[in-house]
Amino acid sequence: MTNEQLNTKVFGFEFNLRLILWFLAVKLQLIILLFIWHYTSRHWWKIAIMIPLTLEVFKFIGFLNIKFENFDEVDFITSIPVTIPIVLSLLYLSNKLNKYINHQVVYEKLNTEIDLVFKEMHYNNNDELILKLEFSNLKKNKKNFDKAEYLEKLLKLRSKLYQNEKH
């Protein structure tokens, strides 16, 4: 086919069919790849992929709308209602995840420190063995207590431990 045959007039505008097909292929390819990436990603930040996906969909819709003269411009005003909730949800998830990770790090450090204290204790005394068993039972049954009750039991166990060290 010659270039004259590929040029066509639609609604009074002259278009090159190769250019239109190339643009459609590029946009559809990008939209499909972003869509696949979003649904196959297992990471918590996969919501962020929705932002470029949304922008490309808006560009594609703008291309199909014959009222627009510049078809590859992103209308950020129309994409803001979609992108702002995505960004806010990402910030919220990131904040919660950081708090959870910090909590886990402190929890692990505390457990290792408590375990080291018990390792340093002498196991010759039956009271110390009983305290160690009480502590491990308390850790196992933590879910059965509310936070205040669990803290109270830990404090009682600590005071028993200090009393044993003084003797």
Q: What is the pLDDT of residues 99-121, one digit of tens each?
A: 998 999 998 998 888 887 777 66
The answer to whether residue 29 scores a pLDDT higher than 90 is yes
Would you state the torsion angle of the CA atoms of residues 56, 59, 65, 70, taken in this order, to the nearest 10 degrees? -160
pLDDT tier at 71 (50, 70, 90 boundaries)? low
- What pTM, to 2 d.p., does this model score? 0.45
142 against 79, higher pLDDT: 142
What percent of the chain has pLDDT above 90? 7
Mean pLDDT of 68-85: 68
Neighbours of 52 (CB within 10 A): 15
Residue 35, C-beta contacts closer than 8 angstroms, at least 6 positions apart: 53
Handedness of CA 110, 114, 115, 116 (dihedral sign): positive
What percent of the chain has pLDDT above 70? 77
